[in-house]
Amino acid sequence: MTTKNLLVELFVEELPPKALKKLGEAFASQLADQLRAQGLATTDSVVTAYASPRRLAAHISHVWLKAADKAVQQKLMPVKVGLDADGHATPALIKKLQALGADVSDPAAAVAALKRAPDGKAEALFYDSLVTGATLDTGLQKALEEALAKLPIPKVMSYQLETDCDLPGWSSVHFVRPAHGLVALHGSTVVPVKVLGLKAGNSTQGHRFEAKVSPVLIADADSYGATLTNDGAVIASFADRRAEIVRQLAAAAAQVGGGVKAIDDEALLDEVTGLVERPNVLVCAFEEQFLGVPQECLILTMKANQKYFPLLDASGKLTNKFLVVSNISPADASAVIGGNERVVRPRLADAKFFFDQDRKKTLESRVAGLDKVVYHNKLGTQGERSIRVAYFAQTIGALIGGDILATQADKAARLAKTDLLTDMVGEFPELQGVMGRYYAINDKLSAEVADAIEDHYKPRFAGDELPRNSVGLVVALADKLETLVGMFGIGNVPTGDKDPYALRRHALGVIRMLIEADLDLRLDQLLDEVLLSSDALGLGNDPQNVMWARQRDDGVELIELNPETGTKLMGFIFDRLAGSLREQGYSAQEVDAVVSQKPQRLGDVPKRLAAVRAFAALPEAAALAAANKRISNILKKAQDVDAHVSEVLLKEPAEIALFAAMQEVAPKAKAQFEAGDYTASLQTLAALRAPVDSFFDGVMVNAEELDLRLNRQGLLKSLHDAMNRVADLSRLAS
């Protein structure tokens, strides 16, 4: 029996554009997986996904009309359960065989047909049968139902179908959008399947306005894409349609000239691909007077509200031209161009109005208004939060940059959230921080403070850039640490996939700033500063100085944080650090060796990792790692060992030699460690391999004499401390 190619299409009303790509891929892959599981498709079958605004489809090559019959062996039960003492079938065995459809008219013959084989400690009975392969009719029906059930539908809707029975009535259907057509072709033959109240055929619909014929007849599975393109004026492939949009965008930008190019936005490109069936890119323009508004505002309103592609010049500055991806291709496109230009004009005018109005008030004048913006019901308002962040920023700034940086950080932190009260950010929340910078410049604030107001949200996502100056780094650190401590303090800890306050992202932001900016700050010191209460600071009840507090009508209420906040948050940050390092390509052993030591200066972590990697390449590494693991186990059992050695109690030559080697090597390794040369420190310690090996070969650590035992344990404790300053080398042992 030969195979043929299969085509399945579900024709629906307009699908959600942001989810279209994922829906198309999931529909095709699920359908193919289900067919393979039933033996109707092979591992060599090529799956091609199609997805347009009004259809999900899949083309699967090498599909059988009927799957091959399959020999199956089933375990029935232990022999002692299935057969009695005389070897005859028990009622339990007869019942089991009947359930499997076996012929039990002659019980003796039925038992003789069974196989015996060991199963663990006992012997079991096994039944061999031949399972008839699934037909494409039944197999595709099952595959379709499974594929639709597993689609990643963002939101299901319900609609009614008139029943096709003799009695009048309606049945409810639940799907992402109402479905109107189903195509199922095996070669050129229609496969009689039914789903969502639809019976399969060989016709579909093309473009709403530009299809040559209606309906569009599909001759066979392989002509699907070409037929839709030629007769239906639809590019059914999501990937092909996306590529055509990219090509037309580049061509239109070249037509405008001057080195302009369309803005690069993959998410927008995917969304627009999900909105059109046959793209036609057109060049439009708006009045140049709107270019006086910050380009971020204009770009956002064009992208988010209208799905346009703004054009940028060679320097990245916005021009007054933009590109529209139309779903129709009229001979005269002037009406389409004019309509889009008319639609965008009021939105740009609104942006200009908001910008002009916002600049009439300074950011400083908006500070008091933050007291009316609730941050969290347990943590107070944005005004109270700004006081805390400003205090932390001032403290951190003083630690790394003295009074000047502390003053600038305090100023930026107090104003960082004030743009939340502006009309522009009220309309476009995505611009918070960005607009704050523009308004700070308008208020004649320093460039350092203005940049910090925008940058204190950074890094906002994986791969995002860090704040561009020290003031921004300090405020961003203070802002993220305040969020982490506050949320952990009141018990809002991420669980599973749920992280509504983006605390994992905040923790990674703190980690990246401390490491990549190589800030001379200790993590425990930072957390201690942020955890300090107003009482500990001796600040009394002045609401301008209170740290973890909120102002109520009847005075100031101190916020009680969980006493274990610092410990839990420290562990959370190091967990995020370990995960981040593994994603960067470091091995689990390397990461574990460094992170298990909880190095408080995170800026040293890359150097420690590099040192561990270099050490692991040494011929002495494996033996020393194994010895270190052995030492760790000995010390755990001994408990409370003092790193003190008495030379008088050193009896065995091997322990005398190890002590002498340590006297020479350990001080040098310690000096290199304190100088920050971690690689040299570990390589220096490699010289201890031979005396360590000799020690374990010739010395009984747990000697019967108490003084000898304690002295040898002290020697090992001294060795353990010396070897594990950079990383826990025992974690490198296999």
DSSP state string for 44-102: T--EEEEEETTEEEEEEEEE-SBPPPEEEEEEEEEHHHHB-TTSPBPHHHHHHHHHTT-
pLDDT for the residue numbered 167: 45
Q: Are 416 and 454 in contact (CB under 8 A)?
A: no
Q: For 466-483, b where at least 16 C-beta lie within 10 A, e where not — what string?
A: bbebbbbbbbbbbbbbbb
* 352-375: average pLDDT: 96
DSSP assigned state of 135: B
* 56-62: average pLDDT: 97
Q: In this prediction, what percent of the chain has a pLDDT beyond 70? A: 96
Of the candidates 339, 235, 331, 328, the one whose C-alpha atom is nearest the C-alpha of residue 281 is: 328
User: Model confidence at 553, in pLDDT bands (50, 70, 90)?
Assistant: low
pLDDT for the residue numbered 169: 55
**pLDDT of 728 strictly over 90:** yes
* 432-461: average pLDDT: 96
Q: What is the mean pLDDT of the chain?
A: 91
At residue 119, the 3 state secondary structure works out as: strand
| Higher-pLDDT residue of 112, 185 | 185
Q: Tokens 């574990």 map to which residue?
A: 592
Task: Report domain extents, the chain.
Answer: 4-67+135-232, 71-131, 238-358, 371-582, 604-732
pLDDT for the residue numbered 539: 43
What is the distance of C-alpha 212 from the center of its chain? 44
* 224-250: average pLDDT: 97
Give how far Cα 663 sits from Cα of 233, 427, 669, 700, Å.
84, 69, 11, 21
pLDDT for the residue numbered 140: 96
Its CATH class, for the domain covering 604-732, is: mainly alpha
Q: pLDDT tens digits, residue range 497-524? A: 889 999 999 999 999 999 999 999 999 9
User: Model confidence at 541, in pLDDT bands (50, 70, 90)?
Assistant: very low
Give CA–CA dist 127/100, Å, rounded.
9
pLDDT for the residue numbered 581: 96
Of the candidates 645, 368, 395, 726, the one whose C-alpha atom is nearest the C-alpha of residue 536 is: 395
Query: What CATH fold (topology level) applies to the domain 4-67+135-232?
Result: Alpha-Beta Plaits (3.30.70)
Q: pLDDT tens digits, residue range 556-607? A: 677 778 888 899 999 999 999 999 999 999 999 999 999 999 999 999 999 9
Q: Sort strands 170-175 and 70-78 into parallel, antiparallel or unpaired.
A: unpaired
**pLDDT of 533 strictly over 70:** no
Q: Are 214 and 206 in contact (CB under 8 A)?
A: yes
Q: Are 375 and 385 in contact (CB under 8 A)?
A: yes
Q: pLDDT tens digits, residue range 136-183? A: 999 999 999 999 999 998 888 888 876 555 445 567 888 999 999 999
User: Model confidence at 79, in pLDDT bands (50, 70, 90)?
Assistant: confident
Q: What is the dihedral of CA 540, 541, 546, 547, to 10 degrees?
A: 80
pLDDT for the residue numbered 668: 95
* 45-58: average pLDDT: 97
pLDDT for the residue numbered 538: 40
**pLDDT of 731 strictly over 70:** yes
pLDDT for the residue numbered 535: 42
Question: Which region among 192-206, 324-338, 687-701 has the lowest average model confidence (pLDDT)?
Answer: 687-701
pLDDT for the residue numbered 164: 54
pLDDT for the residue numbered 551: 67
pLDDT for the residue numbered 534: 42
For residue 120, give every residue at least 6 positions away whose Cβ sits within 8 Å of its Cβ, in sequence order, or none. none
* 262-286: average pLDDT: 97
pTM of the model: 0.81
User: Model confidence at 356, in pLDDT bands (50, 70, 90)?
Assistant: very high
* 232-249: average pLDDT: 98
Q: What is the dihedral of CA 219, 225, 226, 228, to 10 degrees?
A: 80
